[in-house]
Amino acid sequence: MEKRSRHCRSFCFTLYLAVFFILSCVPGDALSKANNPVIPQGSRLSLNQAVKIALLNNRTLQRSRLSLSSNNLNVKMQEDKFNIKIIPASFVNYSAAGDEYWSASVKFSKKTKVGISGSVTPQVENNYGTKRMSIGVMLNVPLLRGLGVESNLDGLHGSWYALETAKQAHYKQQDSLVINTVSTVYDIINHQKHMELLGNQIEGLKRHISLTAVKERTGLATAMDMYRAEIRLKEVQNQLTIIEKKFDSQTDRLKKLLGSSIQGDLTVTASIEYEPISIFLDEAVSIALNNRVEIEQALRKSTEAQRKVAIARHNILPIVNLKLGYKRYEETESLFLDEEDWIVSLNGSAELFRSEERTAYELANINFQQSKIDIESSREDIIREVRAQVNQMKKRERLIADRGEQLRQAQGKLELARSKFNHQLANNFDLLEAQTQRQQVKADLLIDTIGYIVDTYRLRSVLGTLIER
């Protein structure tokens, strides 16, 4: 008992040292980086920083990366099926009558990619005092079903296909995340600029109300002028409250995209300067068809469906296996095995009509035909997406030009209305209306400008060039 206890303590101490050594080999910050988003000091982010942090910490992408690891392990598991297997085995039997039997063996087996499998098994056994040593060789050769590289690598090819599909899905998630992050950042900036415009308008309305109150006391303005100005002030203040609520909502959305649980304010910065992009539709379509993963995915799906047709056709064949065995043994303690034995067997089985296998073949053929249709559908969908995006950007360019002209006209109308009001040639109705129109034109121009900038990222996305692969 004391000896067993010493062995137990020794084993536990060795295990502790092994665990300590493994953990000491892990970098100090490797265990913390996975759960701690890298957010700069002060929570002030540029657009590029926000995109990088989102690609690193977004929880959806983290799950996608784990899915990729799982698919890689599935590929490895399928490859391991063709490695050499070493299987030790032992058997001990004692009876009340004093009979004794024990055996020990090691089986070395391997399956080849063409379906032929073989094994070598050395064995030592003691049967009621008679010792026996032997070594056996067994070879299994499928003659019909199960013979061929394509049939035996079905699982490996299927796991490769699943891995490539997961990679493409991960890429599309990255692409979508970048677009969502860019769109959210610019939504926040749009709300920030809009709040600044409304804040300036509120300050101007307050000055106008003060001036109108002075004019009212001197008879140069009426009570109606005061009511109009005060009502307009409340309307702008209500607009500011609504925009602030939208701003907070978009900020929370950005934090979620970044995979961050930071509290408090989050300030983002991005340029709102833009340059019109000149690209011909035919050129854009050609770039998209050469880069979009959907085309590759449709082609790979069709290739996989065609492979499944070949597998289903092969499975219609009956099972016929040839087994060859050879064994040398000796019932003494001599190392020279003089006795030998041969085994040759042929066995086969198959359902007579094989209706299930034939139906599976027809289904695989239908899936293959559908996959060919999907290739053309993917091409047409991509062409429509590119055309719609290019046309949308051209319309926004015209809108931005029109907004600039509208802003010039609204500014002229405002100056004229202000001059009339200051010289008692009109009440403040035209002045407040001109201020509202100029405010709306500025907001629309900002929305269209930011929309065009975001559209440049969406154009790169539909062209398949937003993220390198």
Please, which residues bridge with residue 349 across strands?
319
Mean pLDDT value across residues 22-34: 37
Quickly state the pLDDT bin for 388 (edges 50, 70, 90): very high
- Res 265 pLDDT > 70: yes
Residue 349's pLDDT band (cuts 50, 70, 90): confident
Least confident of 5-9, 263-267, 412-416: 5-9
Q: Which CATH topology does 47-86+145-321+353-463 take?
A: Outer membrane efflux proteins (OEP) (1.20.1600)
Distances (CA, A) of 54 to 43, 161, 191, 299: 14, 28, 21, 31
Give the least confident one: 4-18, 339-353, 414-428: 4-18
Instruction: Kindly report the average pLDDT of the chain as a whole number.
Output: 87
- The DSSP-derived string for 428-450 is SHHHHHHHHHHHHHHHHHHHHHH
- Give me the mean pLDDT over the 316-333 stretch: 87
Tell me how far CA of residue 276 lies from CA of 170, 394, 449, in angstroms: 31, 9, 10
Answer with the residue of higher pLDDT: 6 or 315: 315
- Average pLDDT on 410-414 reads 92
d(CA 298, CA 293): 9
Euclidean distance between CA atoms 279 and 282, whole angstroms: 9
Return the pLDDT at 197. Answer: 93
**Beta carbons within 8 Å of 315's beta carbon, 6+ residues apart:** 145, 357, 360, 361
How far is it, in rounded angstroms, from Cα 143 to Cα 345? 13
pLDDT score at 98: 67
Rounded-to-integer distance, Cα 325 and Cα 251, Å: 73
Please tell me the predicted confidence (pLDDT) of residue 249. Answer: 94
Confidence class of residue 69 from pLDDT cuts 50, 70 and 90? Answer: very high
**What's the half-sphere exposure (Cβ side, CA atoms, 13 Å) at 94?**
2
Burial environment of residue 61 by CB neighbours within 10 A (0 to 12, 13 to 18, 19 or more): middle
Q: Hey, where are the domains in the chain?
A: 47-86+145-321+353-463, 87-112+114-144+322-352
H or E segment and range at residue 93: strand 85-94
Taking the C-alpha atoms of residue 406 and residue 336, their distance in angstroms, rounded to an integer, is 105
Average pLDDT over residues 133-155: 94
Length of the chain in terms of residues written: 469
454's tokens? 């975001």
pLDDT tens figures, 173-201: 999 999 999 999 999 999 999 999 999 99
Selected residue with higher pLDDT from 29 and 329: 329
Mean pLDDT along residues 82-101: 85
- Cα separation, 277 vs 415, whole angstroms: 35
Instruction: Check residues 422 and 385 and name the one with the higher pLDDT.
Output: 385
pLDDT at position 202 over 80: yes
Query: What's the pLDDT at 39?
Result: 56
SS3 (DSSP) at 122: strand
338 against 459, higher pLDDT: 459
The proportion of the chain whose per-residue pLDDT surpasses 70, expressed as a percent, equals 88
- In angstroms, the CA 289 to CA 378 distance is 9
106 vs 124: CA distance, rounded Å: 10
Residue 211 has pLDDT above 80, yes or no: yes
pTM for this one? 0.82
The rounded distance, in Å, linking the Cα atoms of 111 and 79 is 11
